[in-house]
A and B are shown apart, each in its own frame.
Chain A
Amino acid sequence: MLLPDSGTAMVEGLEIVKDRKKIRKMIGYMPGRFSLYQDLSVEENLRFFATIFGTTIQENYALVKDIYRHIEPFRKRRAGKLSGGMKQKLALSCALIHKPEVLFLDEPTTGVDAVSRQEFWEMLKRLQSHGITILVSTPYMDEARLCDKIALIQNGSVMKISTPEQVINQYRLGLFSVSSTDVYRLLHDLQEIPGAHSVHAFGQTAHVAFEEGSLSEEAILNFLTIKEHQVVKIKRINPTIEDCFMELMSPASLNDSK
């Protein structure tokens, strides 16, 4: 849909500039913004996409059934009148109806609640079992964990490509999870603790990253006791993808990689 200034890329062995018409036939694409026809009905939208790709709803119904059956009771409703979750299911059905080999999903779960996100990922896993390759972008780091391979992108360049496990294994810092009764003050005070590399809020706790050997549990406890924190809990933890991503995004790491 957009041509590169330079460089090349292949999708299913086809070159993205020269063979782009062929590529379009074999991929499914779900853009970040809802872009189906608002004034066509659910069924009309799906039929439209099937027809464009020279197929019918019946032919590939098995593939979309799992997803489409949730919205089938509303098949006469205009797409513009659907709820957010239903729009998302319709968009996915339309992207799948020609049985693509590769599915591109641009932030399909942004603005979607925790329950629907879980269901959406269950659907993706089922599609994967049908042999469909899925390339999905997301701002939720807990979803990154569910991928086979992830690329972390910042300011137009890829910082890292590997499996979620490798990303976590390559995290070079030590990490403490710290909590007390006043999380806001805790975050504020921890910013000043000597020996910490970075401090980030993680729900009811703060994650304190440090160079091995530069910070100990006792040091944190002493520091927070002086600052009069109550019920301080400190635990050594393994990093999450979110810790890794934030470390890769920090200016220090960006300089390292140059």
Chain B
Amino acid sequence: MNDGPENIIVVKDLVKKFGSFIANDHLTFNVRKGEIFGFLGANGAGKTTAIRILCGLSYPTSGIIHVGGYDVYTQREKIKKNIGYMCQRFSLYDDLTVFENIRFYAAIYGLSRKEIELRSSNLLQRLKLEEAHNKLIRDIPLGWKQKLAFSVAIIHDPRIVFLDEPTGGVDPITRRQFWNMIYETARQGITVFVTTHYMDEAEYCDRVSIMVEGKIAALDTPLALREQFGAANMNEVFLKLARAKITEDV
């Protein structure tokens, strides 16, 4: 398959079944290099299943999936070296300090001792966490944790970073600061693949897909989606798609 120079993730007919349950039902989409791609959907729509497959953590039942030019069936280790991953809950170790967490992840990603020194001090400086570097993760505020978890997820300069609900439960100002970091990351050329339940954040993405019950129900720029569904904002687009499905079922 020719991925094309501009597509960093290529997914064609991805199917994932658990017994008779179809979690991902023939997903087909591409993610372009350097874009912020919003991967939306209701709880249980199959987002996390798809992300785990893209990250090389779980095998698909069928379909062609390339991430960073690598095949998810045969080149999972290569994929893992080229991506970063942050989910809301399990990213950092609560009983290690800020500094220890940074060093731990940098070492896991195989950075040299010298690189680790350099990048961790840069990171602490950038996040203004120098004074807190010896604090345990459990003692720092949620907003700091999330910014730190994100920075740690890209400490090895991956080509793609996957963010699974990175801003859940965060105050409005911290959420916006977090999105500033996402923008900066994308401008450095790192592709951002992000899920969120905040529909204002969906507007900040270059393109957005909306999953409903295992299928991609819509995929386009936020502007095109608003026009297509005659909606004032992404929240209305989302409610139209996800709620329509629920009403059909009842």
Q: Which residues of A contact B (CB under 8 A)?
A: 83-85, 107, 110-118, 139-141, 154, 183-184, 200-204, 242, 245-246, 249-250
Give B187's nearest chain A residue, CB to CB. Answer: A184
Separation of A118 and B43 alpha carbons in the complex (Å): 13
Q: Which residues of A contact B44 (CB under 8 A)?
A: 83-85
Q: Which residues of B contact A184 (CB under 8 A)?
A: 183
Q: Which residues of A contact B179 (CB under 8 A)?
A: 201
Give A181's nearest chain B residue, CB to CB. Answer: B223
Give A204's nearest chain B residue, CB to CB. Answer: B203
Separation of A112 and B42 alpha carbons in the complex (Å): 8
0 or 1 for each of B173-209: is its CB under 8 Å from A? (1 = yes): 1001001000100000000000001111011100000
Q: Is the CB of A115 within 8 A of B168?
A: no
Give A87's nearest chain B residue, CB to CB. Answer: B43
Q: Which residues of B contact A201 (CB under 8 A)?
A: 176, 179, 200, 204
Separation of A107 and B41 alpha carbons in the complex (Å): 20
Separation of A192 and B163 alpha carbons in the complex (Å): 30
Q: Given A112-B43, A114-B242, A245-B171, list of 9 further CB < 8 A pairs?
A: A85-B43, A113-B43, A114-B235, A115-B243, A118-B239, A139-B172, A203-B204, A203-B233, A204-B222
Q: Is the CB of B172 within 8 A of A110?
A: no
Q: Is the CB of B222 within 8 A of A83?
A: no
Question: Range of interface residues on chain B?
Answer: 20 to 34
Q: Which residues of B contact A84 (CB under 8 A)?
A: 43-44
| B169 CB within 8 Å of chain A | yes
Q: Is the CB of A110 within 8 A of B239?
A: no
Ranked nearest first, the 5 interchain pairs of A and B with the lowest CB-CB distance are A203-B203, A203-B200, A113-B42, A110-B169, A115-B242
| B57 CB within 8 Å of chain A | no
Q: Which residues of B contact A107 (CB under 8 A)?
A: 169
Separation of A115 and B44 alpha carbons in the complex (Å): 12
Q: Is the CB of B43 within 8 A of A116?
A: yes
Q: Which residues of B contact A83 (CB under 8 A)?
A: 43-44
| B30 CB within 8 Å of chain A | no
Separation of A147 and B246 alpha carbons in the complex (Å): 26
Q: Which residues of B contact A203 (CB under 8 A)?
A: 199-200, 202-204, 233-234
| B85 CB within 8 Å of chain A | no
| B88 CB within 8 Å of chain A | yes
Select which of A115, A202, A249 is within 8 A of B200 by beta carbon. Answer: A202
